Amino acid sequence: MEFSWSLYEHISPDLRMTARHVKYLAYFRFLKVSLLLLNLFLITYGLVDVHYQEPEFGLTMAIVPVSIIHAILASICVKKEDMLGIALVIMFHIVYLITRLIVLNGDGLLARTLMKEEMLLFASFALSFNIVSVAFAVLTAEATVPFEEDPPQIAAKFPDVDQRLYSPAFINPDNVAPGFANGTSAPNSQQTLEQFLWTLASRNEWMTYHNPVFTSEEGRSIPYLALSSSKSLLQTSLVGNTTNKVRVWLQGGVHGNEPAGEKGLLALLGRMDAEPEWALGLLEKLDVIVLPRYNPDGSAYFQRLLATSFDPNRDHTKMASQQTMEVKQLNLKFNAHVHLDCHEYGARRGLTYENKTYIPAQDNQFSAFKNLNVHAEIRSMAESLFVPEVASALRKKNLTTNGYVVALQENDTIKLQDFVTDTRGEVTVFLGQGLAFLSETRGIGIGDRNFQRRTTAGMTAAETVLQIAADNAELVYETVEEARKDFIENDHEMIVRDHPRWMETTWPYLDAETGNITEVPVLFGNNTPPASKLTRARPEAYIFSRAWANAALRLRAAGVIVDELAVDFEGKVEAYNITSATLTETKYEGIALTTVNTELSKKTMKFPAGAYWVGTKQQHAAQAFVRLEPESTDGFVTFNILPVNAGDEYQVYRIPFKSH
């Protein structure tokens, strides 16, 4: 976390982080002033009042360098977010100043001294500034979601279930961090995670422990396990498409304060270790990568964000973090058919209807990814095969489930939007024409409450995805591979913008007062599938100047093949004229997003050799669609990677198919 403080001022990802940086600066200002006042008091008190009376004179003078050391320690502690360290260091100053004020206001000899008023002034102000600095230190170091205890009527709805768990938090409960109880730390350390993964791999020849050369923003390792009965996969850290099995990518811990996603995957690995026959039965059909802790820095501070305070699940357009690109390269090399992203959702998010408060009732919200630029056969298989079977598996364990929704309160209306179609999250597999799913377990904000049940829910979703993929391996493999071939070859329209289909329905919620499950009227935005809002013919290619190397870099990082022209180009293109460009009123992840409208025109253009050519007959072409089309809500124009103003000609051009 320490180095990220120096970035807050310049990055300013959002208003909350900007405010946090201001509090951080205020903390240091008050700390410096209090140190100055303390030393003025010490020198005056030592030279005038105690005046070579030993041992107090010597002790008083010794406090001067000690106070400076303490101030340095206080600054280190707040950067490290060590609340105990902050308290111990500054409380030393506060206690000392209080004792001296008592002495100076007493009846003893030391109270009858020259410059008493000055000493009282220095000591009083030093004490006040120390107290204020403590307050700002607490505000600065506070990075966690507020902890809220479930009342008895709610807690009763989430008892432990009959499930043995083999993840570290349950194998060695004494090693769970004390702060996890109130939601201020992750249950297990980075060392515990690494040791657990290494131990499993060391006793199973079909598990291989990998510690990639890339690290988190603060240098922490991002270990993963490769699971395969095929030695060609296990013998190299550069995993790739080396078998004809269904390839499954499982990841958790993207947000550092959502531990059940990670622990569900660790429990799955523990079960595979404990039941090797079952595991090997799966691996006859599957090759699997399990990356349980995507965001080790966030886990270390038990915060949602990366160390730089960017959201790792909103960084897949702008790719501000090198970590985002590095993990994505590993994902691309594996080229999975199936992807599962494991998270937690806010357990205590209250919504109101007719003056009553309701909170989410689901142990797990499970959805398929949704974007119309992915082949219809893939989306159909996800919704018809995987989603209902995962729901059935959860219910068999008496766990409640539904699809994932984004909730919004508008006056007395509860609006729920189906899992959104945006692509600023981790969509590498999905937009690469693969099956992709989101598992959201109840949990954010409730510490260690119901953790056995929460971990079971996350594990059940993950193991069911594996079981479905294995039981239907031939169908899954053929469906995805054939869909990828067809996507490359067809000339279907692309979907630039879509919107949910709104309807009135009911949704199961817990009555916050009684704990009863209640069907609450809501306005539901259905994205299964969404409605098309703006479509456009698929071009043969996009072409743009090599001056926009940052755009080419991000396309390549997303898996898109970007060629560089060996010779000059002259030909007919479609050009976008920007008819309007509107900025958002507040920044999103440090960026004022831009929404544009355009008109297409035809013209002849020349490009010198070295210009970028992005053909659309490729597996990851959908990434090019959603990044390069200027109206796309997750495109390079929206995120100002390719900045435009009204009246501009957008500097990415379309090469139409001759048949168009």
How many other C-beta atoms are found inside a 10 Å radius of the C-beta of residue 287? 26
Q: Do 108 and 219 sit in the same domain of this protein?
A: no
> Residue 594, Cα to own-chain centre: how many angstroms?
23
Instruction: Show which of 442, 466, 494 is a domain's final residue.
Output: 494
Q: Are 394 and 461 in contact (CB under 8 A)?
A: yes
Query: Residue 508: left (phi > 0), alpha (psi -120 to 50), or beta?
Result: beta
Structural domain containing residue 54? 2-141
Quote the tokens at residue 522. 């809501």
User: Is the pLDDT at 88 greater than 80, yes or no?
Assistant: no
How many whole angstroms separate alpha carbon 332 and alpha carbon 326? 10
How many whole angstroms separate alpha carbon 299 and alpha carbon 294? 9
Q: What SS3 state is found at 226?
A: strand
205-220 mean pLDDT: 97
Q: Do 43 and 122 sit in the same domain of this protein?
A: yes
Residue 292 counted as domain residue: yes
Q: Do 319 and 205 sit in the same domain of this protein?
A: yes
State the burial class of residue 207 (Cβ atoms within 10 Å of its Cβ: 0-12, 13-18, 19+): buried
Question: Domain count of the chain?
Answer: 3
**In Å, what is the CA distance from 616 to each residue of 328, 619, 628?**
20, 8, 12
Residue 593 counted as domain residue: yes
Please tell me what DSSP assigns to residue 46: I
Q: How many percent of the chain have pLDDT more than 70?
A: 82
User: Is the pLDDT at 21 greater than 70, yes or no?
Assistant: no
pLDDT of residue 143: 47
Q: Do 207 and 108 sit in the same domain of this protein?
A: no
Model confidence at 508, in pLDDT bands (50, 70, 90)?
very high
pLDDT of residue 140: 57
User: Is the pLDDT at 18 greater than 60, yes or no?
Assistant: no
Return mean pLDDT, the chain.
89
How many whole angstroms separate alpha carbon 218 and alpha carbon 79? 13
pLDDT of residue 384: 98
Helix boundaries (H) for 511-656 = 549-557, 621-628
Q: Do 547 and 488 sit in the same domain of this protein?
A: no
pLDDT of residue 105: 78
Angle (CA) 11 13 18, round 5°: 80
Instruction: Show which of 141, 169, 199 is a domain's final residue.
Output: 141
Model confidence at 71, in pLDDT bands (50, 70, 90)?
low
Residue 166 counted as domain residue: no
pLDDT of residue 1: 40
Q: Are 264 and 455 in contact (CB under 8 A)?
A: yes
Q: Which residue has the tokens 């919620």?
A: 509
Q: Which residues contact 172 (CB under 8 A, 6 or more apart)?
A: none
pLDDT of residue 131: 75
Q: Do 466 and 562 sit in the same domain of this protein?
A: no
**In Å, what is the CA distance from 125 to each residue of 2, 254, 499?**
29, 45, 59
pLDDT tens readout for residues 106-125: 777 666 677 767 777 777 87
57-65 mean pLDDT: 66
Q: Do 204 and 93 sit in the same domain of this protein?
A: no
Tell me, yes or no, if 629 is annotated catalytic: no
577-603 mean pLDDT: 95
pLDDT tens readout for residues 159-204: 999 999 999 999 999 999 999 999 989 999 999 999 999 999 999 9
Catalytic annotation, pick one of 217, 258, 344, 440: 440
How many whole angstroms separate alpha carbon 448 and alpha carbon 446? 6
CATH number of the domain where residue 366 is located: 3.40.630.10
pLDDT tens readout for residues 309-320: 899 999 999 999
User: Is the pLDDT at 32 greater than 50, yes or no?
Assistant: yes
Looking at per-residue pLDDT, the higher value among 221 and 85 belongs to 221
User: Is the pLDDT at 660 greater than 50, yes or no?
Assistant: no
Going through 512-593 in order, the beta strands assigned E by DSSP cover 517-536, 541-544, 563-564, 569-583
Q: Do 426 and 306 sit in the same domain of this protein?
A: yes
What percent of the residues of the chain are helix, what percent strand, and what percent coil, each to the nearest 5?
40, 25, 35
Residue 489 counted as domain residue: yes
Quote the tokens at residue 506. 């009911």
Q: Do 545 and 479 sit in the same domain of this protein?
A: no
> Residue 488, Cα to own-chain centre: how many angstroms?
31
Model confidence at 526, in pLDDT bands (50, 70, 90)?
very high
451-464 mean pLDDT: 98
pLDDT of residue 127: 74
pLDDT tens readout for residues 399-441: 999 999 999 999 999 999 999 899 999 999 999 999 999 999 9
User: Is the pLDDT at 442 greater than 60, yes or no?
Assistant: yes
Residue 567 counted as domain residue: yes
Q: Do 97 and 213 sit in the same domain of this protein?
A: no
Helix axes 15-44 and 56-79, enclosed angle (nearest 10): 170
Instruction: Show which of 459, 494, 529 is a domain's final residue.
Output: 494
pLDDT of residue 123: 72
Q: Do 226 and 298 sit in the same domain of this protein?
A: yes
Looking at per-residue pLDDT, the higher value among 136 and 590 belongs to 590
pLDDT of residue 115: 77
User: Is the pLDDT at 286 greater than 80, yes or no?
Assistant: yes
User: Is the pLDDT at 494 greater than 70, yes or no?
Assistant: yes
Residue 616 counted as domain residue: yes
Model confidence at 621, in pLDDT bands (50, 70, 90)?
very high
pLDDT of residue 361: 97
Residue 100 counted as domain residue: yes
Q: What SS3 state is found at 593?
A: coil
Q: Do 541 and 487 sit in the same domain of this protein?
A: no
438-462 mean pLDDT: 97
Residue 595 counted as domain residue: yes
